[in-house]
């Protein structure tokens, strides 16, 4: 139980990667505050964690607002006595090339994907300082490293997370607060499956994507969760200000 006695907040925890992150941290002993705007699937995530004998609380909140983040931290302190880890995972996507991205689309994506993480850190860091240290984990993306022409705003926000991670690592290292990003490629989530199912030949589309990855498969949400457990635990006590790329070798390729 590598996270026994630790308290973690996971945002975007209702489904997909976020649900796996919450379950993974709880399975290793953390008390988890699972946060999302999607109340019903969030409650299902927490119920599944509790049925396995682990500890979690659901909290419906909009993390693009300061009050949502403050309330989540206050809940963690009130229910579990403190805060050791923030996994800032909540994100949205809007498909558009740069010149076709409206101001409203840009603002919507950045309010959640970048500003929401800043607001989460702003709420969490003072409590981590009082706790004597902690771990900030940002779910970035390979699209914060390389480009997708149809996800301009999303890529810009994820690249911003990588820069903000380094700033936080430098500023709060003296307080024993570490900050790292996780950068996944494609992940087998509900949204990914919906994309596959819309293809004229879903099986062929899945094969087309799988062969892009040297490991020959699309990541499972649990693949991402295992990295978060590592970064939240003392096993990564001397790792800060860096990216953990989880892409099955995708970025190692030239063509």
Q: Which domains does the chain have, with CATH numbers?
A: 7-184+220-244 (3.40.50.720), 188-218 (no CATH)
Calculate the CA dihedral of residues 159, 160, 166, 171 and round it to 10 degrees. 180
List all residues 6 or more positions away from 124 whose beta carbon is below 8 Å from its beta carbon. Answer: 9, 69, 73, 83, 86, 134, 136
**198-210 pLDDT, tens per residue?**
999 999 999 999 9
| Percent of the chain scoring above 70 in pLDDT | 100
pLDDT for res 200: 97
Question: What is the token pair recorded at 61?
Answer: 């909140």
Q: What is the mean pLDDT of residues 106-125?
A: 98
Measured between alpha carbons, how far apart are the two ends of the chain, in Å? 41
**120-162 pLDDT, tens per residue?**
999 999 999 999 999 999 999 999 999 999 999 999 999 999 9
pLDDT for res 255: 87
**18-39 pLDDT, tens per residue?**
999 999 999 999 999 999 999 9
Residue 181, CA distances (Å) to 25, 127, 205, 221, 248 in order: 16, 20, 29, 16, 17
DSSP string covering 118-186: HHHHHHHHHHHHHHT-EEEEEE--GGGTS--TTBHHHHHHHHHHHHHHHHHHHHHGGGTEEEEEEEE--
Residue 2, CA distances (Å) to 110, 132, 177, 232 in order: 33, 18, 18, 9
List all residues 6 or more positions away from 149 whose beta carbon is below 8 Å from its beta carbon. Answer: 97
Q: What is the mean pLDDT of residues 84-105?
A: 98
**How high does pLDDT run on average in the chain?**
98
List all residues 6 or more positions away from 47 whose beta carbon is below 8 Å from its beta carbon. Answer: none
Ramachandran category for residue 102: left, alpha or beta (phi over 0 → left; psi -120 to 50 → alpha) = beta
Q: State the catalytic residues.
A: 154
Question: Whole-model pTM?
Answer: 0.97
Residue 117, CA distances (Å) to 5, 40, 62, 69, 230 in order: 24, 23, 12, 9, 20
pLDDT above 90 (res 231): yes
Residue keyed to tokens 């790329």: 245
Question: What is the token pair recorded at 144?
Answer: 């914060």
Inter-residue contact 180 to 137 (CB < 8 Å): yes
């Amino acid at each position: 139980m590598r996270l026994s006695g630790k308290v973690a907040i996971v945002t975007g925890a209702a489904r997909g990667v976020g649900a796996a992150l919450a379950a993974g941290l709880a399975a290793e002993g953390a008390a988890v505050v699972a946060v999302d705007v999607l109340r019903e699937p969030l409650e299902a995530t927490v119920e599944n964690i509790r049925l396995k004998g682990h500890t979690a609380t659901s909290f419906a909140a909009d993390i693009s607002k300061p009050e949502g983040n403050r309330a989540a931290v206050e809940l963690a302190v009130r229910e579990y006595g403190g805060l050791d880890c923030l996994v800032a995972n909540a994100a949205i996507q809007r498909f558009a090339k740069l010149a076709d991205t409206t101001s409203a689309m840009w603002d919507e994506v950045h309010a959640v994907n970048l500003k929401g993480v800043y607001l989460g850190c702003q709420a969490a860091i003072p409590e981590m300082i009082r706790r004597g240290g902690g771990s900030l984990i940002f779910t970035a993306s390979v699209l914060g490293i390389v480009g997708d022409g149809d996800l301009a705003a999303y890529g810009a926000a994820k690249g911003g997370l990588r820069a903000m991670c380094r700033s936080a690592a430098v500023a709060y290292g003296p307080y024993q607060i570490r900050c790292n990003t996780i950068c996944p490629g494609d992940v087998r989530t509900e949204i990914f499956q919906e994309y596959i199912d819309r293809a004229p030949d879903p099986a062929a589309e899945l094969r087309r994507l799988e062969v892009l990855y040297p490991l020959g498969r699309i990541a499972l949400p649990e693949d991402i969760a295992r990295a978060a457990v590592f970064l939240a635990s003392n096993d990564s006590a001397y790792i800060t200000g860096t990216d953990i790329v989880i892409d099955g070798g995708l970025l190692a390729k030239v063509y």
